[in-house]
Protein backbone atom coordinates (compact mmCIF):
# COMPACT_ATOMS: atom_id res chain seq x y z
CA UNK A 1 0.00 0.00 0.00
CA UNK A 2 1.21 3.48 -0.70
CA UNK A 3 1.75 5.74 2.24
CA UNK A 4 0.15 8.68 0.45
CA UNK A 5 -0.03 11.01 3.44
CA UNK A 6 3.64 10.58 4.23
CA UNK A 7 4.54 11.32 0.62
CA UNK A 8 2.37 14.47 0.57
CA UNK A 9 4.07 15.65 3.73
CA UNK A 10 7.49 15.20 2.16
CA UNK A 11 6.32 16.99 -1.01
CA UNK A 12 5.22 20.03 1.00
CA UNK A 13 8.78 20.64 2.11
CA UNK A 14 10.24 20.45 -1.39
CA UNK A 15 10.82 23.63 -3.36
CA UNK A 16 11.17 22.92 -7.08
CA UNK A 17 12.81 26.33 -7.65
CA UNK A 18 15.82 25.07 -5.76
CA UNK A 19 18.24 22.57 -7.27
CA UNK A 20 17.63 18.86 -6.58
CA UNK A 21 19.18 17.60 -3.33
CA UNK A 22 22.15 15.23 -3.68
CA UNK A 23 21.09 12.91 -0.84
CA UNK A 24 18.94 9.84 -1.52
CA UNK A 25 16.08 9.16 -1.28
CA UNK A 26 15.32 12.94 -0.88
CA UNK A 27 16.54 13.49 -4.41
CA UNK A 28 13.96 11.07 -5.81
CA UNK A 29 11.10 12.73 -3.91
CA UNK A 30 12.14 16.02 -5.50
CA UNK A 31 11.91 14.43 -8.96
CA UNK A 32 8.61 12.73 -8.12
CA UNK A 33 7.13 16.12 -7.31
CA UNK A 34 8.50 17.53 -10.56
CA UNK A 35 7.23 14.54 -12.58
CA UNK A 36 3.80 14.93 -11.02
CA UNK A 37 3.69 18.50 -12.30
CA UNK A 38 4.56 17.36 -15.83
CA UNK A 39 1.94 14.62 -15.68
CA UNK A 40 -0.69 17.14 -14.55
CA UNK A 41 0.19 19.38 -17.48
CA UNK A 42 -0.05 16.46 -19.88
CA UNK A 43 -3.43 15.44 -18.47
CA UNK A 44 -4.74 18.96 -19.03
CA UNK A 45 -3.37 19.02 -22.54
CA UNK A 46 -4.96 15.66 -23.37
CA UNK A 47 -8.16 16.38 -21.46
CA UNK A 48 -8.19 12.96 -19.75
CA UNK A 49 -6.60 10.82 -17.09
CA UNK A 50 -3.31 9.03 -17.93
CA UNK A 51 -2.68 5.34 -17.29
CA UNK A 52 0.30 3.02 -16.77
CA UNK A 53 1.07 -0.68 -17.12
CA UNK A 54 4.08 -2.49 -15.61
CA UNK A 55 4.87 -5.96 -16.93
CA UNK A 56 7.24 -8.18 -15.00
CA UNK A 57 9.36 -10.91 -16.57
CA UNK A 58 11.46 -13.21 -14.41
CA UNK A 59 11.68 -13.94 -10.74
CA UNK A 60 10.17 -12.68 -7.48
CA UNK A 61 12.98 -10.19 -7.13
CA UNK A 62 11.81 -8.52 -10.32
CA UNK A 63 8.20 -8.69 -9.16
CA UNK A 64 9.17 -6.81 -6.00
CA UNK A 65 11.05 -4.21 -8.07
CA UNK A 66 7.92 -3.76 -10.18
CA UNK A 67 5.95 -2.87 -7.05
CA UNK A 68 8.47 -0.11 -6.44
CA UNK A 69 8.10 1.17 -10.01
CA UNK A 70 4.32 1.04 -9.65
CA UNK A 71 4.48 3.05 -6.42
CA UNK A 72 6.35 5.80 -8.20
CA UNK A 73 4.04 5.89 -11.22
CA UNK A 74 1.00 6.14 -8.94
CA UNK A 75 2.64 8.87 -6.86
CA UNK A 76 3.27 11.01 -9.94
CA UNK A 77 -0.35 10.73 -11.05
CA UNK A 78 -0.81 7.78 -13.40
CA UNK A 79 -3.74 5.38 -12.92
CA UNK A 80 -3.36 1.61 -13.34
CA UNK A 81 -4.41 0.00 -16.65
CA UNK A 82 -4.73 -3.72 -17.24
CA UNK A 83 -2.96 -3.93 -20.58
CA UNK A 84 -0.24 -2.30 -22.66
CA UNK A 85 -2.81 0.09 -24.17
CA UNK A 86 -1.67 2.65 -21.63
CA UNK A 87 0.16 5.98 -21.57
CA UNK A 88 3.22 4.69 -19.70
CA UNK A 89 4.38 1.11 -20.23
CA UNK A 90 7.30 -0.43 -18.33
CA UNK A 91 8.82 -3.82 -19.15
CA UNK A 92 10.86 -5.09 -16.23
CA UNK A 93 12.94 -7.68 -18.05
CA UNK A 94 14.69 -10.97 -17.25
CA UNK A 95 17.64 -12.52 -19.06
CA UNK A 96 18.18 -15.77 -17.18
CA UNK A 97 17.37 -17.76 -20.33
CA UNK A 98 17.48 -16.78 -24.00
CA UNK A 99 13.72 -17.14 -24.49
CA UNK A 100 13.08 -14.47 -21.82
CA UNK A 101 14.92 -12.01 -24.09
CA UNK A 102 13.13 -13.09 -27.24
CA UNK A 103 9.75 -12.48 -25.62
CA UNK A 104 10.65 -8.86 -24.95
CA UNK A 105 11.74 -8.15 -28.51
CA UNK A 106 8.51 -9.73 -29.77
CA UNK A 107 6.36 -7.57 -27.52
CA UNK A 108 8.23 -4.38 -28.39
CA UNK A 109 6.89 -4.73 -31.92
CA UNK A 110 3.33 -4.41 -30.61
CA UNK A 111 4.24 -1.45 -28.42
CA UNK A 112 5.56 0.40 -31.44
CA UNK A 113 2.12 0.09 -33.01
CA UNK A 114 0.43 1.49 -29.88
CA UNK A 115 2.83 4.38 -29.76
CA UNK A 116 2.07 5.32 -33.36
CA UNK A 117 -1.54 5.83 -32.30
CA UNK A 118 -0.65 7.57 -29.01
CA UNK A 119 2.47 9.71 -29.59
CA UNK A 120 2.56 10.93 -25.97
CA UNK A 121 2.99 7.32 -24.80
CA UNK A 122 6.13 6.61 -22.77
CA UNK A 123 7.91 3.25 -23.04
CA UNK A 124 10.49 2.28 -20.42
CA UNK A 125 12.65 -0.85 -20.27
CA UNK A 126 14.52 -1.91 -17.17
CA UNK A 127 15.65 -5.03 -15.32
CA UNK A 128 18.30 -7.66 -15.89
CA UNK A 129 18.33 -7.72 -19.69
CA UNK A 130 19.31 -4.04 -19.76
CA UNK A 131 22.57 -4.86 -17.96
CA UNK A 132 23.77 -6.59 -21.14
CA UNK A 133 25.67 -4.32 -23.47
CA UNK A 134 24.62 -6.11 -26.64
CA UNK A 135 20.95 -5.70 -25.74
CA UNK A 136 21.26 -1.96 -25.17
CA UNK A 137 23.20 -1.57 -28.43
CA UNK A 138 20.45 -3.36 -30.30
CA UNK A 139 17.74 -1.21 -28.69
CA UNK A 140 19.65 1.97 -29.46
CA UNK A 141 20.00 1.10 -33.10
CA UNK A 142 16.71 -0.65 -33.95
CA UNK A 143 14.17 0.38 -31.27
CA UNK A 144 14.47 4.16 -31.18
CA UNK A 145 10.85 4.56 -30.09
CA UNK A 146 11.77 3.40 -26.57
CA UNK A 147 11.89 6.46 -24.28
CA UNK A 148 13.79 5.24 -21.27
CA UNK A 149 16.27 2.43 -20.55
CA UNK A 150 17.77 1.79 -17.13
CA UNK A 151 19.25 -1.18 -15.28
CA UNK A 152 19.02 -3.12 -12.04
CA UNK A 153 21.44 -1.00 -9.99
CA UNK A 154 19.73 2.37 -10.43
CA UNK A 155 16.09 1.34 -10.30
CA UNK A 156 15.65 3.74 -7.37
CA UNK A 157 16.35 6.60 -9.83
CA UNK A 158 13.15 5.92 -11.75
CA UNK A 159 11.55 9.29 -10.89
CA UNK A 160 14.67 11.23 -11.85
CA UNK A 161 14.95 9.36 -15.15
CA UNK A 162 11.28 9.93 -15.98
CA UNK A 163 11.84 13.67 -15.56
CA UNK A 164 15.00 13.55 -17.68
CA UNK A 165 13.28 11.71 -20.49
CA UNK A 166 10.20 13.95 -20.35
CA UNK A 167 12.40 17.05 -20.52
CA UNK A 168 14.79 15.83 -23.20
CA UNK A 169 12.13 14.13 -25.33
CA UNK A 170 14.62 11.62 -26.68
CA UNK A 171 15.81 8.14 -25.76
CA UNK A 172 17.30 8.31 -22.25
CA UNK A 173 19.74 5.53 -21.37
CA UNK A 174 21.24 5.20 -17.89
CA UNK A 175 22.91 1.92 -16.98
CA UNK A 176 25.30 1.43 -14.07
CA UNK A 177 28.00 -1.24 -14.04
CA UNK A 178 27.42 -1.99 -10.37
CA UNK A 179 26.75 -0.34 -7.03
CA UNK A 180 27.44 -0.53 -3.33
CA UNK A 181 24.36 1.58 -2.63
CA UNK A 182 21.05 0.36 -1.24
CA UNK A 183 18.43 3.12 -1.49
CA UNK A 184 15.26 2.46 0.49
CA UNK A 185 12.16 4.22 1.69
CA UNK A 186 10.62 5.15 -1.62
CA UNK A 187 6.90 4.70 -2.26
CA UNK A 188 5.86 1.22 -3.30
CA UNK A 189 2.52 -0.29 -4.16
CA UNK A 190 2.01 -3.87 -3.00
CA UNK A 191 0.10 -6.13 -5.33
CA UNK A 192 -1.72 -7.79 -2.43
CA UNK A 193 -2.72 -5.95 0.76
CA UNK A 194 -2.19 -9.05 2.91
CA UNK A 195 1.14 -10.43 1.67
CA UNK A 196 4.37 -8.96 0.49
CA UNK A 197 7.87 -9.72 -0.68
CA UNK A 198 10.70 -8.25 1.36
CA UNK A 199 14.21 -7.99 -0.06
CA UNK A 200 16.80 -9.18 2.41
CA UNK A 201 19.71 -9.04 0.01
CA UNK A 202 20.54 -8.02 -3.52
CA UNK A 203 22.90 -9.57 -6.07
CA UNK A 204 24.74 -12.88 -5.98
CA UNK A 205 28.34 -14.00 -5.40
CA UNK A 206 28.02 -17.63 -6.37
CA UNK A 207 28.82 -17.58 -10.06
CA UNK A 208 27.23 -20.89 -10.92
CA UNK A 209 28.91 -21.47 -14.27
CA UNK A 210 25.69 -21.37 -16.36
CA UNK A 211 24.13 -18.35 -14.69
CA UNK A 212 24.06 -14.73 -15.79
CA UNK A 213 22.45 -13.35 -12.61
CA UNK A 214 25.71 -12.34 -10.82
CA UNK A 215 26.70 -10.35 -13.91
CA UNK A 216 23.42 -8.47 -14.22
CA UNK A 217 22.54 -8.09 -10.53
CA UNK A 218 26.04 -7.44 -9.20
CA UNK A 219 27.74 -8.51 -5.98
CA UNK A 220 25.87 -9.73 -2.94
CA UNK A 221 24.66 -6.93 -0.65
CA UNK A 222 22.65 -7.68 2.48
CA UNK A 223 20.29 -5.13 3.96
CA UNK A 224 20.81 -4.15 7.59
CA UNK A 225 18.67 -6.36 9.83
CA UNK A 226 17.10 -3.29 11.52
CA UNK A 227 16.00 -1.97 8.12
CA UNK A 228 14.37 -5.29 7.25
CA UNK A 229 12.62 -5.54 10.62
CA UNK A 230 11.41 -1.96 10.39
CA UNK A 231 9.91 -2.61 6.97
CA UNK A 232 8.19 -5.81 8.11
CA UNK A 233 6.79 -4.09 11.20
CA UNK A 234 5.30 -1.36 9.04
CA UNK A 235 3.80 -3.99 6.73
CA UNK A 236 2.29 -5.77 9.73
CA UNK A 237 0.79 -2.49 10.94
CA UNK A 238 -0.70 -2.14 7.47
CA UNK A 239 -2.43 -5.53 7.55
CA UNK A 240 0.18 -7.82 5.96
CA UNK A 241 0.05 -11.34 7.44
CA UNK A 242 2.46 -13.19 5.13
CA UNK A 243 5.92 -12.14 4.01
CA UNK A 244 8.29 -13.69 1.53
CA UNK A 245 11.94 -12.91 2.21
CA UNK A 246 13.74 -12.53 -1.09
CA UNK A 247 17.33 -13.07 -2.17
CA UNK A 248 19.22 -15.16 -4.72
CA UNK A 249 20.75 -17.11 -1.87
CA UNK A 250 19.05 -16.21 1.41
CA UNK A 251 21.17 -18.72 3.31
CA UNK A 252 24.22 -16.53 2.91
CA UNK A 253 22.33 -13.49 4.21
CA UNK A 254 24.34 -11.22 6.50
CA UNK A 255 27.77 -12.71 5.84
CA UNK A 256 29.08 -9.55 4.21
CA UNK A 257 27.64 -7.09 6.77
CA UNK A 258 30.01 -5.11 8.97
CA UNK A 259 28.50 -6.95 11.93
CA UNK A 260 27.67 -10.34 10.41
CA UNK A 261 24.26 -11.86 11.16
CA UNK A 262 22.99 -15.29 10.10
CA UNK A 263 19.78 -15.81 8.18
CA UNK A 264 18.56 -18.01 11.03
CA UNK A 265 19.13 -15.17 13.51
CA UNK A 266 17.21 -12.78 11.25
CA UNK A 267 14.31 -15.25 11.11
CA UNK A 268 14.23 -15.46 14.91
CA UNK A 269 13.73 -11.70 15.08
CA UNK A 270 11.07 -11.67 12.38
CA UNK A 271 9.18 -14.42 14.20
CA UNK A 272 8.64 -11.98 17.09
CA UNK A 273 6.78 -9.43 14.98
CA UNK A 274 3.11 -9.33 15.97
CA UNK A 275 0.65 -9.56 13.11
CA UNK A 276 2.97 -11.54 10.83
CA UNK A 277 1.50 -15.05 10.70
CA UNK A 278 3.48 -16.63 7.90
CA UNK A 279 7.09 -16.35 6.81
CA UNK A 280 8.35 -17.69 3.50
CA UNK A 281 11.72 -17.26 1.83
CA UNK A 282 13.44 -17.94 -1.43
CA UNK A 283 15.84 -19.06 -2.73
CA UNK A 284 17.86 -21.44 -0.54
CA UNK A 285 21.18 -22.55 -1.95
CA UNK A 286 21.84 -26.08 -0.66
CA UNK A 287 25.53 -25.35 0.00
CA UNK A 288 24.71 -22.73 2.67
CA UNK A 289 21.68 -24.28 4.35
CA UNK A 290 22.79 -24.55 7.98
CA UNK A 291 21.70 -26.82 10.84
CA UNK A 292 20.88 -23.63 12.73
CA UNK A 293 18.36 -22.75 10.02
CA UNK A 294 16.72 -26.17 10.16
CA UNK A 295 16.44 -25.82 13.95
CA UNK A 296 14.88 -22.38 13.71
CA UNK A 297 12.42 -23.57 11.08
CA UNK A 298 11.41 -26.64 13.06
CA UNK A 299 10.80 -24.58 16.21
CA UNK A 300 8.92 -21.84 14.40
CA UNK A 301 5.16 -21.33 14.45
CA UNK A 302 5.29 -19.01 11.48
CA UNK A 303 7.86 -20.27 8.98
CA UNK A 304 5.94 -22.11 6.29
CA UNK A 305 6.35 -25.79 5.63
CA UNK A 306 7.78 -25.26 2.18
CA UNK A 307 11.33 -25.03 1.00
CA UNK A 308 12.54 -24.36 -2.51
CA UNK A 309 15.88 -26.13 -2.79
CA UNK A 310 17.28 -25.93 -6.32
CA UNK A 311 19.05 -29.14 -7.30
CA UNK A 312 20.12 -28.14 -10.86
CA UNK A 313 21.64 -31.59 -11.49
CA UNK A 314 21.83 -34.91 -9.65
CA UNK A 315 25.28 -35.74 -11.00
CA UNK A 316 28.14 -34.78 -8.69
CA UNK A 317 30.40 -34.44 -11.73
CA UNK A 318 28.05 -31.94 -13.39
CA UNK A 319 27.42 -30.14 -10.08
CA UNK A 320 31.15 -29.62 -9.84
CA UNK A 321 31.22 -28.22 -13.40
CA UNK A 322 28.30 -26.01 -12.46
CA UNK A 323 30.29 -24.63 -9.50
CA UNK A 324 27.47 -25.52 -7.10
CA UNK A 325 29.70 -26.66 -4.20
CA UNK A 326 27.71 -29.76 -3.18
CA UNK A 327 27.51 -33.37 -4.30
CA UNK A 328 24.52 -35.59 -4.98
CA UNK A 329 25.09 -37.31 -1.64
CA UNK A 330 25.31 -34.05 0.30
CA UNK A 331 22.09 -32.85 -1.28
CA UNK A 332 20.26 -36.07 -0.40
CA UNK A 333 21.60 -35.91 3.17
CA UNK A 334 20.32 -32.36 3.48
CA UNK A 335 16.86 -33.39 2.31
CA UNK A 336 16.92 -36.22 4.83
CA UNK A 337 17.85 -33.82 7.64
CA UNK A 338 15.03 -31.45 6.69
CA UNK A 339 12.49 -34.26 6.51
CA UNK A 340 13.59 -35.74 9.83
CA UNK A 341 13.16 -32.36 11.53
CA UNK A 342 9.92 -31.50 9.67
CA UNK A 343 8.17 -34.52 8.13
CA UNK A 344 5.36 -32.45 6.59
CA UNK A 345 7.74 -30.20 4.65
CA UNK A 346 6.97 -29.61 0.97
CA UNK A 347 10.15 -29.56 -1.08
CA UNK A 348 10.32 -28.02 -4.54
CA UNK A 349 13.26 -27.53 -6.87
CA UNK A 350 14.79 -26.23 -10.11
CA UNK A 351 16.52 -28.59 -12.52
CA UNK A 352 18.53 -27.82 -15.66
CA UNK A 353 18.68 -30.38 -18.46
CA UNK A 354 21.44 -30.41 -21.05
CA UNK A 355 24.28 -28.62 -19.25
CA UNK A 356 27.43 -28.92 -21.42
CA UNK A 357 28.93 -32.41 -21.21
CA UNK A 358 25.86 -33.97 -19.55
CA UNK A 359 25.90 -37.68 -20.44
CA UNK A 360 23.06 -40.19 -20.22
CA UNK A 361 24.64 -41.42 -16.94
CA UNK A 362 24.66 -37.89 -15.52
CA UNK A 363 21.03 -37.48 -16.50
CA UNK A 364 20.14 -40.79 -14.85
CA UNK A 365 21.67 -39.43 -11.63
CA UNK A 366 19.27 -36.48 -11.84
CA UNK A 367 16.33 -38.85 -12.37
CA UNK A 368 17.53 -40.83 -9.38
CA UNK A 369 17.50 -37.77 -7.10
CA UNK A 370 14.05 -36.81 -8.41
CA UNK A 371 12.74 -40.24 -7.43
CA UNK A 372 14.55 -40.36 -4.08
CA UNK A 373 13.45 -36.90 -2.94
CA UNK A 374 9.91 -37.03 -4.32
CA UNK A 375 9.49 -33.33 -5.03
CA UNK A 376 6.13 -31.68 -4.51
CA UNK A 377 6.87 -29.82 -7.71
CA UNK A 378 9.87 -28.98 -9.84
CA UNK A 379 10.65 -26.30 -12.38
CA UNK A 380 12.54 -27.92 -15.23
CA UNK A 381 14.61 -25.86 -17.65
CA UNK A 382 16.46 -26.59 -20.85
CA UNK A 383 20.01 -25.30 -20.46
CA UNK A 384 20.34 -21.94 -22.16
CA UNK A 385 23.72 -20.62 -23.23
CA UNK A 386 24.33 -17.18 -21.70
CA UNK A 387 27.16 -15.20 -23.30
CA UNK A 388 29.83 -14.24 -20.80
CA UNK A 389 29.27 -17.17 -18.44
CA UNK A 390 31.96 -19.90 -18.17
CA UNK A 391 29.58 -22.63 -19.38
CA UNK A 392 28.93 -20.81 -22.66
CA UNK A 393 32.43 -21.65 -23.87
CA UNK A 394 32.52 -25.21 -22.52
CA UNK A 395 32.90 -27.92 -25.10
CA UNK A 396 30.45 -30.78 -25.58
CA UNK A 397 27.27 -28.71 -25.74
CA UNK A 398 24.48 -31.30 -25.76
CA UNK A 399 22.51 -31.70 -28.99
CA UNK A 400 19.00 -30.28 -29.16
CA UNK A 401 17.53 -33.68 -29.90
CA UNK A 402 19.11 -35.31 -26.82
CA UNK A 403 18.04 -32.43 -24.58
CA UNK A 404 14.48 -32.66 -25.87
CA UNK A 405 14.35 -36.37 -25.15
CA UNK A 406 15.76 -35.99 -21.62
CA UNK A 407 13.55 -33.02 -20.87
CA UNK A 408 10.45 -35.02 -21.80
CA UNK A 409 11.48 -37.94 -19.60
CA UNK A 410 12.28 -35.67 -16.66
CA UNK A 411 9.02 -33.75 -16.95
CA UNK A 412 7.00 -36.97 -17.03
CA UNK A 413 8.77 -38.26 -13.90
CA UNK A 414 8.38 -34.96 -12.05
CA UNK A 415 4.67 -34.79 -12.86
CA UNK A 416 3.98 -38.38 -11.91
CA UNK A 417 5.71 -38.02 -8.54
CA UNK A 418 4.10 -34.64 -7.83
CA UNK A 419 0.62 -36.03 -8.50
CA UNK A 420 1.31 -39.01 -6.21
CA UNK A 421 2.42 -36.66 -3.45
CA UNK A 422 -0.25 -34.05 -3.90
CA UNK A 423 -3.15 -35.85 -2.23
CA UNK A 424 -1.37 -36.66 1.00
CA UNK A 425 -3.24 -34.13 3.13
CA UNK A 426 -6.74 -35.20 2.04
CA UNK A 427 -8.95 -35.64 5.10
CA UNK A 428 -6.94 -33.26 7.28
CA UNK A 429 -7.83 -29.79 8.51
CA UNK A 430 -5.43 -27.03 7.47
CA UNK A 431 -4.90 -23.34 8.01
CA UNK A 432 -5.49 -21.48 4.74
CA UNK A 433 -4.58 -17.92 3.90
CA UNK A 434 -7.46 -16.76 1.69
CA UNK A 435 -6.05 -14.96 -1.34
CA UNK A 436 -8.73 -14.40 -3.99
CA UNK A 437 -12.22 -15.14 -5.20
CA UNK A 438 -11.94 -18.10 -7.57
CA UNK A 439 -11.61 -16.97 -11.18
CA UNK A 440 -13.96 -19.61 -12.61
CA UNK A 441 -16.60 -19.71 -9.88
CA UNK A 442 -17.25 -16.62 -7.77
CA UNK A 443 -18.88 -18.64 -4.97
CA UNK A 444 -15.49 -20.19 -4.29
CA UNK A 445 -12.48 -18.71 -2.54
CA UNK A 446 -8.90 -19.69 -3.30
CA UNK A 447 -6.15 -19.82 -0.73
CA UNK A 448 -2.90 -21.51 0.16
CA UNK A 449 -1.73 -23.90 2.82
CA UNK A 450 1.48 -23.35 4.73
CA UNK A 451 3.15 -25.77 2.28
CA UNK A 452 1.94 -23.61 -0.61
CA UNK A 453 -0.72 -26.06 -1.92
CA UNK A 454 -3.77 -24.39 -3.44
CA UNK A 455 -7.21 -24.98 -1.88
CA UNK A 456 -10.65 -23.93 -3.17
CA UNK A 457 -13.69 -23.76 -0.89
CA UNK A 458 -17.03 -22.00 -0.53
CA UNK A 459 -16.90 -18.75 1.37
CA UNK A 460 -17.43 -15.03 1.42
CA UNK A 461 -15.01 -12.55 -0.18
CA UNK A 462 -14.75 -10.72 3.15
CA UNK A 463 -12.43 -13.54 4.27
CA UNK A 464 -9.72 -12.52 1.79
CA UNK A 465 -6.50 -11.77 3.64
CA UNK A 466 -7.42 -13.81 6.70
CA UNK A 467 -6.29 -17.26 7.80
CA UNK A 468 -9.14 -19.76 8.17
CA UNK A 469 -9.50 -23.46 8.99
CA UNK A 470 -10.48 -25.62 6.05
CA UNK A 471 -11.20 -29.36 5.93
CA UNK A 472 -9.57 -30.84 2.81
CA UNK A 473 -12.22 -33.07 1.21
CA UNK A 474 -10.74 -34.06 -2.10
CA UNK A 475 -7.54 -33.68 -4.08
CA UNK A 476 -7.97 -32.90 -7.77
CA UNK A 477 -4.52 -33.26 -9.25
CA UNK A 478 -2.66 -30.20 -8.12
CA UNK A 479 -5.23 -28.56 -5.85
CA UNK A 480 -7.67 -29.45 -3.10
CA UNK A 481 -11.39 -28.84 -2.72
CA UNK A 482 -12.25 -28.09 0.90
CA UNK A 483 -14.90 -26.95 3.33
CA UNK A 484 -14.62 -23.95 5.58
CA UNK A 485 -14.79 -24.87 9.26
CA UNK A 486 -16.84 -22.33 11.17
CA UNK A 487 -15.96 -21.96 14.83
CA UNK A 488 -18.69 -21.67 17.47
CA UNK A 489 -18.50 -17.88 17.64
CA UNK A 490 -18.79 -17.52 13.86
CA UNK A 491 -21.87 -19.72 13.32
N1 LIG B 1 19.40 -18.01 -7.15
C2 LIG B 1 18.57 -19.08 -7.44
C3 LIG B 1 18.16 -19.21 -8.88
C4 LIG B 1 17.87 -18.03 -9.72
S5 LIG B 1 17.60 -18.36 -11.41
C6 LIG B 1 19.30 -20.35 -7.05
O7 LIG B 1 20.50 -20.42 -7.11
O8 LIG B 1 18.63 -21.27 -6.75
C9 LIG B 1 16.28 -19.52 -11.36
C10 LIG B 1 16.59 -20.81 -12.02
O11 LIG B 1 16.84 -20.63 -13.39
C12 LIG B 1 17.83 -21.53 -11.52
O13 LIG B 1 17.60 -22.23 -10.35
C14 LIG B 1 18.18 -22.42 -12.67
O15 LIG B 1 17.56 -23.68 -12.55
C16 LIG B 1 17.61 -21.70 -13.87
N17 LIG B 1 18.68 -21.19 -14.73
C18 LIG B 1 19.62 -20.27 -14.42
N19 LIG B 1 20.45 -20.09 -15.46
C20 LIG B 1 20.03 -20.92 -16.44
C21 LIG B 1 20.50 -21.22 -17.77
N22 LIG B 1 21.58 -20.62 -18.27
N23 LIG B 1 19.82 -22.13 -18.48
C24 LIG B 1 18.73 -22.76 -17.98
N25 LIG B 1 18.26 -22.52 -16.75
C26 LIG B 1 18.90 -21.62 -15.98
FE1 LIG C 1 22.57 -17.91 -10.40
FE2 LIG C 1 23.80 -19.61 -8.84
FE3 LIG C 1 23.49 -17.09 -8.04
FE4 LIG C 1 21.38 -18.71 -8.19
S5 LIG C 1 23.14 -18.93 -6.82
S6 LIG C 1 21.52 -16.63 -8.94
S7 LIG C 1 21.87 -19.98 -9.96
S8 LIG C 1 24.72 -17.80 -9.75
FE1 LIG D 1 15.64 -13.11 -14.36
FE2 LIG D 1 16.98 -11.21 -13.22
FE3 LIG D 1 15.45 -12.75 -11.76
S4 LIG D 1 17.70 -12.51 -14.85
S5 LIG D 1 15.46 -14.66 -12.86
S6 LIG D 1 14.77 -11.40 -13.33
S7 LIG D 1 17.38 -11.85 -11.16
Q: What would you measure as the largest C-alpha separation in the chain, in angstroms?
A: 69
215 CA to centre of ligand 3 in angstroms = 11
Protein residue whose Cα sits closest to atom 12 of ligand 1: 350
Instruction: Indicate if ligand 2 lies below 6 Å from the C-beta of 322.
Output: no
Closest ligand 3 atom to Cα of 152: 2
| pLDDT tens-digit map of 209-253 | 999 999 999 999 999 999 999 999 999 999 999 999 999 999 999
List of long-range contacts for 99-107, beta carbons under 8 Å, 24+ apart: 99/384, 100/57, 100/58, 100/129, 101/129, 101/135, 103/57, 104/57, 104/129, 107/55
The answer to whether 28 and 186 have CB atoms below 8 angstroms apart is: yes
152 CA to centre of ligand 1 in angstroms = 18
Single out the residue of 123, 90, 316, 93 nearest to residue 189, CA to CA.
90
Instruction: Indicate if ligand 2 lies below 6 Å from the C-beta of 135.
Output: no
Binding site for [4Fe-4S] cluster, residues? Answer: 59, 94, 128, 204, 208, 211
CA distance 421 to 478: 9
Protein residue whose Cα sits closest to atom 4 of ligand 2: 248
**The predicted structure's pLDDT at residue 489:** 64
179 CA to centre of ligand 3 in angstroms = 17
476 CA to centre of ligand 1 in angstroms = 30
**Nearest-ligand number for the alpha carbon of 96:** 3
Task: Enumerate residues lining ligand 3, CB below 6 A.
Answer: 58-59, 61-62, 94-96, 128, 213, 216-217
**The predicted structure's pLDDT at residue 1:** 43
- Average pLDDT per block of 10 residues along the chain, 491 residues long: 78 95 96 97 97 96 95 97 97 95 93 94 97 96 97 96 95 93 86 94 96 96 96 95 97 94 97 98 95 97 97 98 98 98 96 98 98 97 96 95 98 94 93 95 96 96 96 93 84 58
**The predicted structure's pLDDT at residue 208:** 98
Protein residue whose Cα sits closest to atom 7 of ligand 3: 213
CA distance 297 to 366: 27
pTM: 0.94
**The predicted structure's pLDDT at residue 340:** 98
Residue 123 β-bridge partners: 89
Closest ligand 2 atom to Cα of 248: 6
**The predicted structure's pLDDT at residue 2:** 47
Tell how far CA 126 is from the center of its chain.
15
Residue 401 exposed, middle or buried by CB count within 10 Å (0-12, 13-18, 19+)? exposed
CA distance 331 to 346: 16
| pLDDT tens-digit map of 450-465 | 999 999 999 999 999 9
> In 85-121, which positions are buried (b, 16+ CB within 10 angstroms) versus exposed (e)?
ebbbbbbbbbbbbeebbeebeeebeebeebbeeeeeb
Amino acid sequence: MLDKEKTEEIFQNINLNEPAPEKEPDRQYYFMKKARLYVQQLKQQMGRELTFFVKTFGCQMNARDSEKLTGILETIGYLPADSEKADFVVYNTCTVRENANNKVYGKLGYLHGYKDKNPEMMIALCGCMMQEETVVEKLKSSYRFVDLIFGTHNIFQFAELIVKSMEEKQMTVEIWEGTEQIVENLPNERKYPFKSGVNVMYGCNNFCSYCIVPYVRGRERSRQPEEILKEIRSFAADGVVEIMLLGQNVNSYGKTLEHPVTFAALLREIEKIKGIERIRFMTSHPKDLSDELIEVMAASEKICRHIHLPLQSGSSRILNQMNRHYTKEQYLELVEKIRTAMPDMAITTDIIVGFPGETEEDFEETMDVVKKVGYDSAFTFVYSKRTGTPAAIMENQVSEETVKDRFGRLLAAVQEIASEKSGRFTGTCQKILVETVNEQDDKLLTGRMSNNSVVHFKGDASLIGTIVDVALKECKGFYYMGELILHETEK
